Amino acid sequence: MLDMKFVRENPDIVKQNIKNKFQDQKLELVDEVIALDAEKRAAQQEADNLRGARNKLSKQIGALMGQGKKEEAEEIKKQVAAEADRLAALSEKEKELDEKILKIMMTIPNIIDPSVPIGKDDSENVEVQRYGEPVVPDFEIPYHTEIMEKFNGIDLDSARKVAGNGFYYLMGDIARLHSAVIAYARDFMINRGFIYCVPPFMIRSNVVTGVMSFAEMDAMMYKIEGEDLYLIGTSEHSMIGKFIDTILQPETLPQTLTSYSPCFRKEKGAHGLEERGVYRIHQFEKQEMIVVCEPEESPMWFDKLWQNTVDLFRSLDIPVRTLECCSGDLADLKVKSVDVEAWSPRQKKYFEVGSCSNLGDAQARRLKIRINGEKGKYFAHTLNNTVVAPPRMLIAFLENNLNADGSVSIPEALQPYMGGQKVIK
């Protein structure tokens, strides 16, 4: 969420940013919110003037009563009462205007970084770099669920009966591989200096609206009926929410945390062949990383975060590439984002396995996460990145480690988490 003062003083910059994100339907909101802000400030000024006048009149009443001029004092009391009614009306007006302004400000997108490429959607994202040599073996690679089924490692039919589409049972070595990847990712991040955390898996609505846009909320979040609680779509939601309404001391920064959680998502609009199996589902588990830091340090941490994901995948011999997300592919709160994509030998192309985002002070402004620095209080910057989400990681892992005889090799780094097992047969 932008600072209202910034919007008021830089309407052309805000409008151009909206155009760069191809959200022209929001252009009129800029003038509308500026007009509402002017109306609110006028009401505040009038209220301040009335309070000043009322204080003076109150002193006059005391003086008149002291002089025995009761009738004159009563007349002034009537005037004070009338002004009290006007003050109450102004206070109510300010409240209504605040709500209207907040609603609009929550929908105006954050200012993107100047380095972000301009484009309408993810088809215009820009490849940055490749890591590892993508290989296509000389034997056919089955669809990932077919590989799992050969090991009796997945049961989609039973899951449909129990919960519907978008759910699964993992079993045997595949289930163990899933847990091994999570445990390996946890230790990988701990070894890089991040504090391990298991957060709440449900959050209140004020945290939801603090960490994401209304559009994201509608497309992703499951609401708990009858309660002010939502199931988290990623542990980032809980982890950033951990700092709600806090004032941080500079010496405690940066806060670098890695968190495990199940994730729950509606996944509206998920269709097509490559959306089947465990690619896009309603429930999965994930290891996440978040950073809360000084504003000037967020670009540095942004580069460190996506590099962590690249390094983890390469430690398991999976080729990956990084993509710079274009303006139209950025969610409203994001300043800059890089996707990490893993190589799929079956599809002969890369697919997304993680996303790293710098949100500037957008989440901190909504959640009131401030730093008490030498020059006063100011908003922190927040960042998040996927360490690993095993459903998609399993796809990349199985395809890149599949052997011609149908077995799956386990890289050396992961073998301790599989009880020393070197191959799945």
Could you tell me the CATH number of the domain that includes residue 27?
1.10.287.40
At residue 274, the pLDDT reads 47
| Whether 131 and 74 share a structural domain | no
**pLDDT value at residue 218:** 82
Do 231 and 89 have their domain in common? no
The per-residue pLDDT for range 269-291, each reduced to its tens digit, is: 544 444 567 878 899 999 999 99
Same domain for 149 and 92: no
Query: What confidence score (pLDDT) does residue 272 get?
Result: 47
Q: How confident is the model at residue 263 (pLDDT cuts 50, 70, 90)?
A: very high
Question: Does residue 111 sit within a domain?
Answer: no
Residue at which a domain ends, from 80, 105, 130 = 105
Shared-domain flag, residues 94 and 126: no
Asked if residue 191 and residue 60 are part of one domain, the reply reads no
Which tens digits make up the pLDDT trace of 151-186? 999 999 999 999 988 899 999 999 999 999 999 999
Domain termination site, one of 78, 105, 132: 105
115 within a domain of the structure (yes/no): no
Active site annotation includes 51: no
Q: Which domain holds residue 289?
A: 122-424
What is the number of structural domains in the chain? 2
Residue 352 maps to which CATH number? Answer: 3.30.930.10
359 neighbors 290 (Cβ within 8 angstroms) = no
> Does residue 280 have an active-site annotation?
yes
Residue among 355, 365, 366, 370 flagged as catalytic: 355
The catalytically annotated residue of 265, 321, 366, 370 is 265
| 88-140 pLDDT tens trace | 888 889 999 999 999 999 999 999 999 999 999 999 999 999 999 999 999 99
**Whether 392 is catalytic:** yes
Residue 265 appears among annotated catalytic residues? yes
Q: Are residues 169 and 281 in the same domain?
A: yes
299 is a domain residue: yes
Residues 96 and 214 in one domain: no
**Residue 41 a catalytic site member:** no
pLDDT score, position 6: 96
pTM: predicted TM-score of the whole model, two decimal places = 0.88
Q: Are residues 208 and 347 in the same domain?
A: yes
Question: Does residue 254 lie in a domain region?
Answer: yes
Q: Are residues 273 and 406 in the same domain?
A: yes
Mean pLDDT of 26-45: 94
Residue 414 has pLDDT above 70, yes or no: yes
**Which residue in the list 130, 285, 352, 407 is annotated as catalytic?**
352
Which of 71, 105, 139 terminates a domain? The answer is 105
141 and 60, same structural domain? no
Choose the catalytic residue: 186, 213, 280, 298.
280
Same domain assignment for residues 42 and 163: no
The reported pLDDT for the residue numbered 219 is 83
Q: Are residues 75 and 126 in the same domain?
A: no
Residues 394-409: tens digit of each pLDDT: 999 999 999 999 999 9
Whether residue 291 is contained in a domain is answered as: yes
